Amino acid sequence: MLTLTRMDETALAHTMVETDSKPRSGDDPGKRRVSREIRETVGRVTVDDPRMVCRNVNVYYGDKQAIKNVSVDIGRNEVLAMIGPSGCGKSTFIRCLNRMNDTIDGCRVTGEIILDGTNIYDKSVDVVPLRAQVGMVFQKPNPFPKSIYENVAYGPRIHGLARNKAELDECVETSLRKAGLWEEVKDRLDHPGTGLSGGQQQRLCIARTIAVNPEVILMDEPCSALDPIATSVIEDLIDELRIQYSICIVTHSMQQAARVSQRTAYFHLGDLIEVGPTGRIFTNPSHQLTQDYITGRFG
């Protein structure tokens, strides 16, 4: 907790342009917003009881800087949505949260991402338990080319979460139930996971992720390859999962962010421009760029 406090101070010291001090007048079109040139984060990046704390995170691909000095907290039992135009770095950022970027050659991360009081980029941290703790669902449904059962059972098996077959069966069932897939697949658990429809595949991937019982779930545009019905099923699922997990979701759809999240972060060309409660971001953003984006001026 001590580290956390220190982090809060540093963060406050150099990021925020407090918007609370500025005059506020609902939907007033003439309202004064932070001008486009300013790149410091607007809005409150901290939460009272954070699950993960990111401070001054920079990501470089070789010489190119993809994320510039981003600080943001992820709260417990909330869905944090990350939006922004293509190439804004939102995917890069979410992949920092469970060190998926480690697999990319030439990718370098500086700054601190704190989970349970430890910087996950510390030399002593092992990525294997970290990823068991921070699960991830990817943009394209990517079930293993194995049976449905094996897909879900894989995580618990490699981590040794189930002591026997009965426990494993139970874990598979609960995970599939949580992912809302159980009823559809319970009779064909031995069928290949790749034979399911796109939406089912994505829910299978979610089931696979939650089978490990992580604490944070990262979702990188989970619905971008899905049709509207499947999307809505997943969105309902996300809402339910919030009760148990902290969720961080990257989406290219502002409407989806509005539907599923409690807080929203707007990224622009590697900068975190604005963070705030979802309702306020979409109705009354404080930064001109956010306003431009949500009103469809670009993106």
Q: How far is the CB of 14 from other proteins (least distance, A)?
A: 33
Among 98, 251, 278, 284, binds other proteins (CB under 8 A): 98
Q: Candidates 207-215, 226-234, 237-245, 263-271 — which segment interacts with other proteins by CB under 8 A?
A: 207-215
Q: How far is the CB of 158 from other proteins (least distance, A)?
A: 6
Q: How far is the CB of 159 from other proteins (least distance, A)?
A: 6
For other proteins, the closer of residues 29 and 160 by Cβ is 160
Q: Candidates 15-23, 123-131, 257-265, 287-295 — which segment interacts with other proteins by CB under 8 A?
A: 123-131
For other proteins, the closer of residues 143 and 270 by Cβ is 143
| 166 φψ region: left (φ > 0), alpha (ψ -120 to 50), beta (else) | alpha
Beta bridge partners of 268: 271
Q: Hey, CA dihedral for 57, 60, 61, 64, is it positive or negative?
A: positive
Among 42, 109, 115, 212, binds other proteins (CB under 8 A): 212
* Residues near other proteins (CB under 8 A): 98, 100, 103, 105, 128-132, 135-138, 140, 142-145, 154-155, 158-159, 194, 205, 208-209, 211-212
